[in-house]
């Protein structure tokens, strides 16, 4: 049975499908960010790529923080 969001912990490994579903961005967008060094490098497990939920959550929080700081400047 797949884990629900409430079952996940900071050290849970998440896949790109989880990330794209949560963010609304495409896999292509995330791989371009990885190439530019703007998104965490995946943990390779065989041919699969996974990310720590903590790394993804921190990336997302930084982007939300950037948006919020821009809104305060207006």
Domain range annotation of the chain: 11-73
> pLDDT digits over 28-38, tens only?
999 999 999 99
Q: How confident is the model at residue 1 (pLDDT cuts 50, 70, 90)?
A: very low
Query: What pLDDT, on the 0 to 100 scale, is given for residue 65?
Result: 86
Encoded tokens for 33:
């960010």
In words, the CATH class of domain 11-73 is mainly alpha
pTM equals 0.80
Please, what's the b/e burial string for 7-22 (b: 16 or more CB within 10 A of its CB; e: otherwise)?
A: eeeeebebebebbeee
Summarised one tens digit per residue, pLDDT across range 31-68 is 999 999 999 999 999 999 999 999 999 999 998 887 77
Position 7 pLDDT exceeds 50: yes
Angle between helices 27-35 and 16-23 (to 10 degrees): 110
């Amino acid at each position: 049975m797949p884990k629900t969001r409430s079952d996940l912990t900071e050290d849970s490994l998440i896949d790109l499908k989880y990330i794209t579903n949560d963010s609304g961005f495409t896999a292509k967008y995330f791989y371009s960010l990885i190439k530019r060094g703007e998104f965490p490098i995946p943990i390779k497990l065989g041919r699969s790529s996974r990310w720590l939920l903590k790394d993804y959550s921190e990336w997302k929080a930084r982007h939300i923080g950037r948006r919020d700081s821009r809104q305060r400047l207006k």
